[in-house]
Structure 1
Amino acid sequence: MAALSLWLGVATVVAHGLRIQHGGLPSSADALPLILLGAAFAATEGFAVHIRVRRGGHAMSLSEIPMVLGLLSVDPTLLLVVRLLGGGLGLVVLRRQRGVKLGFNVALLGVQTTTSSVMLRALAGPEPGDVGPVQWLYVLLVMMVSDVIAAVLVTAVIALHDDPSEWKRLPSALRGLPLVAITTSIGLISTLAIDRDPRAIALLTIVSGVTYKAYRSYVSQSQGHEQVEELYAFTRALDGVLDTGGVARIVLEQARDQLRAERAELIMPGPDGTQVRMRMHGRRQLDTTVLDTLPETAWWQPARAGTPVLVAKGSRVVGSIVDGIAVPVPLSDGATGVLFVADSLPDIPTFGEQHVRLFQALANHASLSLTKARLLDELRQEVAQKEHLALYDPLTGLANRQRFQALTDALRAQGAPVAMLLMDLDRFKDVNDALGHDIGDTLLRQVGDRLQSRLGDRGTVARFGGDEFAVLLPGIRTREVAVAVGDDLAAAMEQPIAIGHLRLNARVSIGIALAPEHGNDAKTLIQRADVAMYVAKTTRTGVRVYQPDDDRNSPRRLAMVADLREAIQRHDLVVVFQPKLETATGIVRGAEALARWHHPAHGFVPPDEFIPLAETSGLIRPLTLHVLEVALRRCASWRRMGHDMHVAVNLSPNSLQEADLPDIVARLLGQAGVPASALTLEITESSIMDDPAGSLVTLDRLHALGVKLAIDDFGTGYSSLGRLRELPIHEMKIDKSFVQRIAVDHRDRAVVRSAVQLGHALDLEVVAEGVEDEQTLNHLRLEGCNLVQGYFISKPLPADEFADWLAARVPQLGQA
């Protein structure tokens, strides 16, 4: 503004210098008319009507009246001096302008005066002569152009200082042209009247005052209507904005514009107890700051408690504001924000109660929109978090299997060669078992960080789950380069990892598959890298590239695993029941629940084939729970039919490592309405020997429930005899490999006899499985075996057939 003011002043001086050079010095004039003219300029500039255009202000005065008088009766140079002195006095004394703004307005008066004089002399000649209709039109045109020039210059200042878009509102700034036409006409009439009778000055004063009052009232009423329209426009603008930042920008812009303030601020609660402070000032700049705490002594603090604050000019407040208003902004969940404006623009005396009411109306609309926007932001954040969780591992922050596969397929779609490394931590289970899952999780996070740090931007690291990580290397064409990267990562993993006071070593086994040599899609490459990794782990070679000979059975195995997963999910596996007969009475005491799978393409799949698949692929848990649930439900139906029977279910070797197993069993017993004593859980002795201490904890909890426990396949573990007496078991099952030949082999008969005697010595019930003929049954009865099962009694039957068999059963041993 200062530079523009200086430029305008120089232009004015140069224009009049040229005029004096060509036209001579100004002619003399009476002092009294000049004094009166100066006073008129001071009064009209001092009592101006302000037309508000957004944040700018265009002052409309009645200065055209004395200006017309001066143009038609005073030398242009004297007119310039009188107007600058008189107008400047009015600006300083009446409108209290100072500094750069005063300098600009004085320069603007000079430009208007000079332009008007030059134009009128160009149109009407050096001496206007008699004032007639032609001169009237010239004067009217000159004054209109002068006002347009003033509007353009004021708009330029606002655009440079505050808002570049102010040029769009230039037409609104020209709304004062009708007043210019009126005041110019009054000036012309006054010139004619004073020329005939100088006492017409009194009438001119009256007409000018009435005109000023009328136009000021009109502008005030018009601006009141405009405020209502702006409030409606503000509401409509908020309706289309769906994010908090956009709403805040509109709110702060409107608050500054409608309240006529230099700056506006919005303070809202942020995440984790922080406060978000958004401030708009200057050229529509929006600054956002996140604060841990807010100043307790801030002048706007009462608004946070729901009380509006008004600070007028001259009030003594803490801070650097001249004046301000703060109002509360209620948000969702009982939170409250604060919206405030500070430092009123010069065109209003200070903030008052009417501004508080307008500000509260704005804040109410802002409250609704901010609440909606914050809720939408939370929803968007939740969606983004879910999308992130769908693509990234929550423990390590690395890509998960889904994202890894998508990246691989995207690279292959572009024809890019890739190498895929699949790695598994050796003996990670020992870390979890010995140090706990928290240490295990920390180890996994550090392994992920180390892999990513070592790899850098050469590829992508992912975690597939458990202790399995994967690396995708784009652009790798040879196995030598891929092996070199694998060796480098393996070496990095061998460096000790510090976790608290512990130093752990995380050795890895790495399998490598390359595209297109070993496959063209992510699924095939992962499968073959997994095969190579398994071979690397079993052969302890560390890093191995896939070879076709490594997985001769793998395609069928992988297909069977996928089919088995679907069959378990759809409950396509059938649960059959094989009865357990009491040898002494011939009564059916219970049944063993067994899973059977009829594959739609391969037909009947033996349990010896699909049970190991389930155990190695992580499907054994859902399979076991399915069998357990069906078995308990069927047992409940038998008991309702009057058969006091128990049901036996096999547990996999990994089941005893699951801490929640007793809780699940208790829940399923309750749902089925079966007493715990009617359930027998069969566990192989080898699974107990893998982790005797951990198994004993789980067995004790199951025993406390009242569930019966059985050692299955007794005699095949060899090492369990010494621990048998320490376990809370109720039943011992002799493996069928010893039972099937006792009628013809005295050695097997001796083994069975010893097992039965051992079981009875430990107060256990002894069960023999694999009874295929009557002779075997008789031998077992003579040895004192308590229960038997096998095809001679009955083959495993589907549930409905078993119920029919049980109903028709005559409890006589000879008819078994």
Structure 2
Amino acid sequence: MDAVRTSNPDSTSGGSATGKTGRSARRGRVSPDHRVIALSVALGVMVLAGHAYVLVTHPLPNISDGFVPLWMLVLMFAATEGFAIHLRVRRGGHALGFSEIPMVLGMLATAPSLLLITRMVGGGLGLALLRRQRGVKLGFNLALIAVQASVAPLIFRLMVGGTVDVLGPTAWAAAYLAMFASDALAAVLVTAAIALKDDPDEWKRMGHALRGLPLVAVTTTIALIGAMAVEKDLRALLLLGVVALVTWVTYRAYVRQSQGHAQVEELYSFTRALDGSLDSDDVARVVLTQVRDQMRAEGAELIVPGPGGRGYLQHRLTGTDELDAEFLLEMPADAWWVPAAKGEPVLLPIARDRIPTNAVAVPVPLGNGTGVLLVTDSLPDTPAFTDEHVMLFQALANHASIALAKSQLVDQLRHEVSEKERLVLFDPLTGLPNRRRFGHHVDEAVAGDKPAAVILMDLDRFKEINDALGHDTGDAVLREIGPRLNGRVGARGIVARFGGDEFAVLLPGVANEDEAVSVVNELNAELERPIPVGAMQLNIRASIGIALAPDHGNDSKTLIQRADVAMYAAKEHRTGRRVYEAEHDRNTPRRLALIGELDQAINRRDLLVVFQPKLDPVTGLVTGAEALARWHHNEQGFIPPDQFIPLAEHSGLIRPLTLHVLEVALRRCASWRRSGRDLSVAVNLSPNSLMDTNLPDIVARLLGQTGVPASALTLEITESSIMADPTGSLRTLERLNTLGVKLAIDDFGTGYSSLGRLRELPIHEVKIDKSFVQRISVDHRDRAVVRSAVQLGHALDLEVVAEGVEDGETMAHLTKEGCNIVQGYYVSRPLPADEFLAWLTEREAQAPAILEAAADGNVVYPRFGT
């Protein structure tokens, strides 16, 4: 059997698959080719030195007259090297030949040095002419041949000496040992070459490299029997050739059948390898490693659509199994593999300009488009890729597509989760932590009564910037202030934005008032540096409040609240900054008690939800109602909404309060509709509600539970709540609009960017603020404002609602101007659910007369309710 040789020691890493990252990472290292060359040179030097030493110190006598001509040995060595059987070991390979036959004949009939030359010449011709080896690979295999041609005769001669019958049992044993030893040594050297060139883990596969050794016994036996026959008659070489040929054909068929089974096992192992990883980079590495090995290719690449459908990611696997990735803005139009991206496999069997010698590319169907999987430059044991390789490659790509699609889905889900976490915990405008995140940091900093300072700052007269220069300019100022504060605080603490023009700073470990004030003075100096806006320079000042832990509190809620009190004291007294003092907060006990009691009232569902009717002023028909929260305190009696709603906003109770009102309103609306009344219901949303990314899901769930159609629900929002976070608010509004919910702008006309933002929002209704409505009958300026609002709303195909209708004259004016819906005390005060139903029933009894009057062109303005 021939020496076990590497099938590709000079080209195991595909040049076409080497990315920029891989090249730069390997810059300056000794190249794999140079390592193999060094090994080859070392082997050659060892062979020459060994032969010189043996010839000088221990000359070995000829043990038999040559009974096989040298030229015939040369031909036999050339044939056995040229027609080798390839055993695949991962991406490497080992060539099995029958060179044991001429080797044994040569050891019996030729001097060692002459045998070395004969085998080098014959083996070199077989490798160069028949197997077309060149360069580093040819040099290494010639060095390997020289080692085998030196080791085997040396072992043989040392065992048999010069006086023993060379065709006797001693010679047989010597021949077996010499052949086994030389082939085993060759297996070790080939493994070393592959490890140096391509894969350090090749040593783990030594067992595969020794799989051909059992055949050595067969070929050595054939050679010994043949030697005894040839010694009697040279023509016996023909019989020996017949036996060798039959054995070669039989073993090659066995090897091909075994490799066919191995290919099925490799396909199964490929599928199994993909099952374990969900990370997209790991999946790409497994896919490229497996297809490169199974397709017997130099290089492998994977091109998949980029995240969000933007561009493409091109993964390349280098010869040292390094995964390089490059982002492509668009698919290159002139790339040879582009048809595969359109669903057509590509096979390049011959060389062309500026493309690989031979290559295959197949489509990889994915959820967000079609990717491309390709291999380039087949290894020497695979002369060229064929249609069979394309079929195998398509099967591999189909398995890979499932794993890749799954990994992309996991990446998308991770991104969405990360984005939701960011939206929940960070301010979208500045990227700073928001109130919730800041509260977590404060609680961690003060746990165990550790000292800390909480600083709250509110920009003075910031609204004037928005009013005069527009909201975009205000946003630009806020984006500038965030990094300024962050840069000044640095590693000493954490900067957050609470919303609007309010920022907060946490200084862990600071309990001393002087130290906190010193930091505040730094922050003030940073804020007062002019901010360039176009050709202008804006000067910003802030009112700042300071609360210290544990003196002023030992939890985030208390410390933030007391810093807020100090800040408003600074604003009220125009001192710029204040440290919290108890006298600033005389109402705090009552306020804190109310917050706790409000929390309990919400949890117990003690808050009353009342309904104020909404009326069509032309027909007099009730179209729906607005749901409003009312709180009757057990001890303090009725607490106005303008007192407890701000408490809920400030304390974080506004979310459960809003959800309570929303749920009650939808359940009441469902009962009205079940009784045959086609009514709608409106619910107010706070500014914080629009920052709740779960709000659309909650609304959808409640609509499904109550059976109320989405079109029967109107959610009212103020312009100022949208302006607090335009991007996040718009995202929430668009999701609500997709559900089919109606959206209304409340207090229309009081905001500072109404006309600029109105056309950009997915709204269905504008609600004119009562401050304009209530004096419409006596103030021509308010009439002009209302008239303009109605005309603007109708021009934008919006329904116009007027609130605060207190008398019949106001109703008449609104009807004349074309207002679609009115509500106010002239129609009815807000009523508890049962009273509203009774009022509605009474109102319906009068409907025929009102409709008849309306049909005759007479508009009736009765006052309903009290």
- Tell me which interval the TM-score lies in, with the shorter structure as reference length: 0.7 to 0.9
| Greater gyration radius | 1
Which of 510, 532, 547 does residue 581 from structure 2 map onto?
547
Tell me, yes or no, if the aligned pair for 2:805 and 2:827 is still in contact at 8 Å.
no
Q: How far apart are residue 501 of structure 1 and its match?
A: 4.6
Larger CA deviation: 627-636 vs 245-254 = 627-636
Partner of 1:82: 118
State TM-score, norm by structure 1. Answer: 0.76
Partner of 2:645: 614
Partner of 2:237: 201
Distance 1:450 1:198, change over 3 A: same
C-alpha separation in 1, matches of 2:492 and 2:522: 13
Which of 432, 447, 453 does residue 398 from structure 1 map onto?
432
Tell me, yes or no, if the aligned pair for 1:621 and 1:655 is still in contact at 8 Å.
no
Partner of 2:519: 485
Counterpart AA for 1:513: A
Partner of 2:379: 345
1:303 aligns with 2:335: no
Partner of 2:327: 290
Partner of 2:310: 273
Aligned to 1:541, what secondary structure does the other structure show?
A: coil
Q: How far apart are residue 135 of structure 1 and its match?
A: 3.0
Tell me, yes or no, if the aligned pair for 2:453 and 2:546 is still in contact at 8 Å.
yes
Tell me, yes or no, if the aligned pair for 2:747 and 2:769 is still in contact at 8 Å.
no
Aligned to 2:457, what secondary structure does the other structure show?
A: strand
Partner of 2:149: 113
Tell me, yes or no, if the aligned pair for 1:700 and 1:728 is still in contact at 8 Å.
no
Q: How far apart are residue 415 of structure 1 and its match?
A: 6.5
C-alpha separation in 2, matches of 1:519 and 1:46: 89
Q: How far apart are residue 606 of structure 1 and its match?
A: 4.0
Aligned to 2:381, what secondary structure does the other structure show?
A: coil
Tell me, yes or no, if the aligned pair for 2:455 and 2:505 is still in contact at 8 Å.
yes
Aligned to 2:210, what secondary structure does the other structure show?
A: helix
Which of 55, 61, 70 does residue 20 from structure 1 map onto?
55
Distance 1:494 1:4, change over 3 A: same
Counterpart AA for 1:297: D
Tell me, yes or no, if the aligned pair for 2:199 and 2:320 is still in contact at 8 Å.
yes
CA offset digits 1:158-211 (Å, max 9, x no partner): 111111111121111111112211101111111122223322111111111111
Partner of 2:179: 143
Q: How far apart are residue 360 of structure 1 and its match?
A: 1.2
Counterpart AA for 1:235: T
Counterpart AA for 2:317: M
Tell me, yes or no, if the aligned pair for 2:453 and 2:511 is still in contact at 8 Å.
yes
Tell me, yes or no, if the aligned pair for 2:595 and 2:647 is still in contact at 8 Å.
no
Kindly report which structure 2 residues correspond to 1:82-481, keeping only aligned pairs within 5 A, or say none.
Answer: 82-271=118-307, 273-313=310-350, 315-319=351-355, 321-333=356-368, 335-413=369-447, 416-481=450-515
CA offset digits 1:757-807 (Å, max 9, x no partner): xxxxxxxxxxxx9xxxxxxxxxxxxxxxx9999xxxxxx996657999999
Distance 1:133 1:695, change over 3 A: farther
Q: How far apart are residue 3 of structure 1 and its match?
A: 0.5
Distance 1:331 1:127, change over 3 A: farther
Q: How far apart are residue 613 of structure 1 and its match?
A: 4.2
Distance 1:594 1:47, change over 3 A: closer
Aligned to 1:201, what secondary structure does the other structure show?
A: helix
Q: How far apart are residue 53 of structure 1 and its match?
A: 0.4
C-alpha separation in 1, matches of 2:79 and 2:769: 107
C-alpha separation in 1, matches of 2:239 and 2:143: 31
Aligned to 1:663, what secondary structure does the other structure show?
A: strand
Kindly report which structure 2 residues correspond to 1:730-749, keeping only aligned pairs within 5 A, or say none.
Answer: none
Tell me, yes or no, if the aligned pair for 1:561 and 1:614 is still in contact at 8 Å.
no
Q: How far apart are residue 439 of structure 1 and its match?
A: 2.9
Which of 586, 589, 606 does residue 572 from structure 1 map onto?
606
C-alpha separation in 2, matches of 1:70 and 1:131: 13
Aligned length: 698
Counterpart AA for 2:555: D
Distance 1:504 1:557, change over 3 A: same
Distance 1:477 1:40, change over 3 A: same
Distance 1:680 1:181, change over 3 A: closer
Distance 1:500 1:65, change over 3 A: same
Tell me, yes or no, if the aligned pair for 1:424 and 1:467 is still in contact at 8 Å.
yes
Counterpart AA for 1:604: Q
C-alpha separation in 2, matches of 1:656 and 1:687: 22
Aligned to 2:253, what secondary structure does the other structure show?
A: helix
Kindly report which structure 2 residues correspond to 1:715-754, keeping only aligned pairs within 5 A, or say none.
Answer: 729=810
C-alpha separation in 1, matches of 2:627 and 2:58: 123
Distance 1:684 1:624, change over 3 A: farther
Aligned to 1:175, what secondary structure does the other structure show?
A: coil
Q: How far apart are residue 657 of structure 1 and its match?
A: 6.9
Q: How far apart are residue 525 of structure 1 and its match?
A: 1.7
CA offset digits 1:693-741 (Å, max 9, x no partner): 99984797489957464579xxxxxxxxxxxxxx994699xxxxxxxxx
Percent identical across equivalent pairs?
54
Partner of 1:740: none
Q: How far apart are residue 60 of structure 1 and its match?
A: 0.7
C-alpha separation in 1, matches of 2:782 and 2:488: 37
Distance 1:146 1:322, change over 3 A: same
Tell me, yes or no, if the aligned pair for 1:45 and 1:87 is still in contact at 8 Å.
yes
C-alpha separation in 2, matches of 1:431 and 1:696: 27
Tell me, yes or no, if the aligned pair for 1:49 and 1:61 is still in contact at 8 Å.
yes
Kindly report which structure 2 residues correspond to 1:774-785, keeping only aligned pairs within 5 A, or say none.
Answer: none
C-alpha separation in 2, matches of 1:370 and 1:593: 50
Tell me, yes or no, if the aligned pair for 1:683 and 1:711 is still in contact at 8 Å.
no
Q: How far apart are residue 126 of structure 1 and its match?
A: 4.6
Distance 1:568 1:269, change over 3 A: same
Distance 1:172 1:598, change over 3 A: same
CA offset digits 1:604-629 (Å, max 9, x no partner): 34436x64343476489998999999
Tell me, yes or no, if the aligned pair for 2:456 and 2:563 is still in contact at 8 Å.
yes
Segments of 5+ residues of structure 1 without an aligned counterpart are: 579-591, 642-648, 668-675, 713-726, 733-768, 770-785, 790-795, 809-815
Aligned to 1:176, what secondary structure does the other structure show?
A: coil
Larger CA deviation: 424-433 vs 42-51 = 424-433
Aligned to 1:603, what secondary structure does the other structure show?
A: coil
Tell me, yes or no, if the aligned pair for 2:455 and 2:544 is still in contact at 8 Å.
yes
Segments of 5+ residues of structure 2 without an aligned counterpart are: 1-35, 613-625, 676-682, 687-715, 723-741, 749-764, 792-798, 814-824, 843-865
CA offset digits 1:663-701 (Å, max 9, x no partner): 36799xxxxxxxx9xx9997599999xxx9999847974
Q: How far apart are residue 563 of structure 1 and its match?
A: 3.7
CA offset digits 1:238-282 (Å, max 9, x no partner): 122212212211111112111111111111111352111001121
Q: How far apart are residue 560 of structure 1 and its match?
A: 1.4
Please provide the CA RMSD for this pair: 4.5
Tell me, yes or no, if the aligned pair for 2:768 and 2:786 is still in contact at 8 Å.
no
Aligned to 2:554, what secondary structure does the other structure show?
A: coil
Distance 1:100 1:799, change over 3 A: closer
C-alpha separation in 2, matches of 1:788 and 1:366: 67
Counterpart AA for 2:43: L
Which of structures 1 and 2 has the larger relative contact order (alpha carbons within 8 angstroms, sep 6+)? Answer: 2
Counterpart AA for 2:56: Q
